[in-house]
Chains A and B, each alone.
Chain A
Amino acid sequence: MTDRKVSEDPELTARLRSPDTVRAAFTEVIRKYSEPLYWLIRKMVRSHDDADDVLQNTFLKAWDNIENFRGEAKLSTWLYKIAINESLSMIDRERRRDTVALDAAADATADSHFDGDDLARRLREAVDSLPEKQRLVFNMKYFDDMKYDEISEILGTSVGALKASYHLATKKIEQYFDGD
């Protein structure tokens, strides 16, 4: 599954609230959301190993707080919020240790799994050159095809600010390609 869009399942949310079914339901949540969350995290932390660590932490944190999930917010929004917070924490830790994650371009070219599409690689490089917040907004809007309302709920930023951020990001990508 490569599509980010995972349909919300009210029955699954209901099962998460029952002590008898919570574990089985959460296992299903892991199966449903591990891939979209992985890519969201991966775009932030860049390396697969870091993404794997952050993804594990995300689900552990969600499991630790599962009884606090009342179903008022969408399950995906709740999980995305945890994943982004965990990713930012990982990036901060990496920065403090002064061992910034591998440069995306180097990672892409060095990785034998990379599909080798030149435009995709250069687009990724352009996106990676963006400031963190703009990169996050651009990734969620362009690559993950999320609505502004949903991004706003996850990041706690107004829709207007998100639109401005996305617009700036596209301008910078334009400049990146113009500079080639």
Chain B
Amino acid sequence: MSNNEHKPNGILEQARHRGLAKPQAGMSMPPQGYFDDFAARMAAALPYRPEAEEKAAKKTPRTLWQRTRPYVYLAAMFAGIWLMLQMFAMMGGTGHQLEPIEDNTVIAEAVNNDDFFFDYYLDDISNYDAYSYYGDGNEQYTDASIDDAADADAGTIPDQEIN
């Protein structure tokens, strides 16, 4: 070869021109039929792979509860927060107040009923409390009447009858 042929681009261009710019240029060839044999060998050697070769298991449909559960929990959480806010407002005196007991007609009627008063109320208070009560202008109930009522409850004879 001449010097000119050995120039780099000349060499590479010459090699390309001669069809040597191909993958197998300058290398020994593999055995005859290697690629056909390799493909068959390789295909037979591929292991079974369920991840790739099996369809993903069909999903079971979700139940109504499973579908609505997040929304139910969310609603319960909001309801809880609302109740808590109501309670704080009530305790702070800024929100809805409980009805004053004097305005409650059922309780007012019961308190004005003497039978109820003697049967359910005076039984549970001490004489001291009762006297305090009478001292506050409730003189219609005298000591004697209270004692008589107490005796009647206890099944004993009133003092005046003994006297």
Quick check: B29 and A113 within 8 Å, CB to CB?
A: yes
Quick check: B22 and A143 within 8 Å, CB to CB?
A: yes
Interface of A is mostly: helix
Tell me the bound Cα distance from A66 to B49 in angstroms: 10
B97 within 8 A of A: no
Closest to A32 in B: B39
Number of B interface residues at 8 Å Cβ cutoff, please give it.
35
* A residues adjacent to B (C-beta < 8 A): 1-4, 19-20, 22-23, 26-27, 30-31, 34-36, 38-40, 42-43, 48, 51-52, 55-56, 59-60, 63-64, 66-67, 104, 107-108, 111-115, 117, 119-125, 127, 142-145, 170-171, 173-175, 177-178, 180
Chain A residues with Cβ below 8 Å from B54 are 19
Shortest B133–chain A CB gap in Å is: 89
Tell me the bound Cα distance from A124 to B22 in angstroms: 11
Interface of B is mostly: loop
Tell me the bound Cα distance from A20 to B56 in angstroms: 12
Quick check: A34 and B11 within 8 Å, CB to CB?
A: no
Query: A108 and B28 in contact (CB under 8 A), knowing A27-B39, A59-B42, A144-B23?
Result: yes
Quick check: A2 and B24 within 8 Å, CB to CB?
A: yes
Give 10 nearest A-B pairs by CB, closest first: A174-B8, A124-B26, A111-B28, A39-B23, A120-B26, A113-B29, A113-B28, A27-B43, A114-B28, A177-B6
Given contacts A145-B21, A173-B12, 9 further A-B contacts (CB under 8 A): A3-B22, A23-B53, A27-B43, A31-B39, A38-B30, A42-B24, A120-B15, A121-B26, A178-B8
Quick check: A48 and B26 within 8 Å, CB to CB?
A: no
Chain B residues with Cβ below 8 Å from A123 are 11-12, 15, 20, 25-26
Report which of B8, B30, B45, B46 forms a contact with A171, defined as CB distance below 8 A.
B8
